Amino acid sequence: MKVLIRFLYTALLVLVAPALLYGLFRTRTDKPSVGKRWKEHFGFASKLKSHSRPVWIHAVSVGETIAATPFIRQLKKRHPDLDILLTTTTPTGAKQAESLGALVEHRYMPIDFGFAIKKFIAQFNPSQLLIIETELWPNTLHHVNEAGIPITLVNARLSEKSCLGYQKIQPIFNIIKPALSMILCQYKEDAHRFEKLGIAKSRLHVTGSIKFDINIDPTLHQKAIELRNDLGGSRPIWIAASTHQGEDEIILAAHKKLLAKYSNALLIIVPRHPERFNSVFELSKSAGLNTHRRTEEQDHFKSQVYLADTMGEMLLLMQAADVCFMGGSFLGDKVGGHNMLEPAALGKPIISGPSYFNFSEIVQLLKNQNAIEIVNDADSLSLWVDNLFNDKSLYEVMANGAYKTICLNKGAIERTINLVFPR
C-alpha cells in the first residue's frame, strides 16, 4: 500500500513539476536567478570542500534561512569542526545564505523525485538532516530515512489549518511519520497537533521558537543612526515590512492620511518579494507620493515613501524607523502574517493586520506585554501610527513590552542544540 501511495504521489508530482520548476527558474527583474546551478535541483551538485560527513540543514526560502542563521552560528561556535551543508529551494533563500559566508556550503535542494534525492545522498552522505520548520516532502523523507540518516524537524510549527490539511491526506502523512526521528516544536499547541497526526509523544519536544534568539549586530545602532540622518533625523518614520500584493494600497492610503497631519512623515516600505520592487515603486508614484528607492543616490529629505529595494537589510531599516507594521496580515487566509520578533528585539512598537494565524502564539505573547496592536484597515492603521508618533508614554509601554517579550522567551537555540547534539 505504501509503495502504491508513493507511486501515485510521484505521478502527481510529475504533472505539477513543470509549473514548480518554471516558478523557480523564471528570470525576473530584481530577483536572484538560479542560473547555471539549475542542475542541482535534480541532484547534480558539486562536491563539498570537506570530505567529512556534513550535517545537512534545509531551509526552504528566505524566512527559514533567516531563522536558521543564529542557530547555525551558535552550532558552529559550539562545534567549530562541524561541516554544514545548507540547502534552500529558492534562489532568494540562496542569496540569504550568502550572509553566512564560510560557516556553511550551500547547494540547492533537489526536487522531490527519488532519483534526485538518492543522487544527492550518495554525493554528500550527510550524518543527519535538520529541517527548519515544517518542510515535509514524502520521497525525500523516505529515501533519507532508508539511507539510515536521522531526520529532525527544528523549530517545527503546525497550524490548525495545516493539521486539518494533513488529516485529509493521512495516508501520505503515514508514509512521512516513520522517517521523523525527532520533532522539536515551537509551542505545546504544535506538539498536540503533531500528536493528533499519530506522532509518538517520545519523539516530540517543545523547545520554543529559535526566532526569539536574535543576536543584534553591535554595529547596527550606529549604522541606523547614519541611515536615519540620511533620511531626515527628526522626522517621524514608520516601516511597513514584508508587504504583499494587495496590501500596499492599504498602507499607502494610511500614509497619505498621516501626511495630512505630519507633512514630513516618511514611510519605509519593504516588499516581501524582490520581483515586486518595480511594481510597488510605480504604485506609490501613481498614488501621488514622492517616492525614492534605497538604491538611488539622491537626497531623501523630501521623500514621502522610501522603497527598500535591497535584501538582507531588514533589521537596519527597522532600527531606523519609529514604528513597525508587519505585512502579510491584510490578506485574509492567504499568508497569515510574518515574523514580528525582529522589530520586538529592536524595541519597536508593532502593528499588524487581522490575519496572523501563522504567528498566533507570538502575537499572544506580545499582547500579554501590550506590545502589539491589531488593525483592520487603512483608517485604523493610520490612527495607530499617529497615536505612537504623538503619545510618548504609549510608545514607551509598547516598545518596552516588545523587548521584554524577547527576553522572556529566549533559549530555544540552546535547548535545540542540546537535543540534537547532546554533550
The residues near 149 (Cβ < 8 Å, ≥ 6 apart) are 56, 121, 126, 127, 128, 129
* Set of cell numbers at residue 43: 541532484
Q: What 8-state DSSP symbol labels residue 346?
A: T
CA distance 242 to 251: 12
Identity (one letter) of the amino acid at 410? K
Q: Residue 36, Cβ neighbours under 10 Å: how many?
A: 7
Is 209 within 8 Å of 186 (Cβ atoms)?
yes
Is 323 within 8 Å of 349 (Cβ atoms)?
yes
* Set of cell numbers at residue 224: 541606523
Q: What 8-state DSSP symbol labels residue 216?
A: P
Q: What 8-state DSSP symbol labels residue 30?
A: T
Is 99 within 8 Å of 312 (Cβ atoms)?
yes
Q: What 8-state DSSP symbol labels residue 186?
A: S
Cα-flanking dihedrals φ and ψ of residue 131, to 5°? -105, 120
Which among 275, 211, 265, 238 has a CA at the least distance from the CA of 381? 238
Angle at 194 between CA 182 and CA 127, to 5 degrees: 20
Is 152 within 8 Å of 57 (Cβ atoms)?
no
DSSP string, 237-256: EEEEEEE-TTTHHHHHHHHH
Q: Residue 26, Cβ neighbours under 10 Å: how many?
A: 11
Q: Residue 299, Cβ neighbours under 10 Å: how many?
A: 10
Identity (one letter) of the amino acid at 84? I
The residues near 20 (Cβ < 8 Å, ≥ 6 apart) are 111
Is 64 an active-site residue?
A: yes
Select which of 40, 64, 105, 133 is catalytic.
64
Looking at the annotation, which residues are catalytic? 64
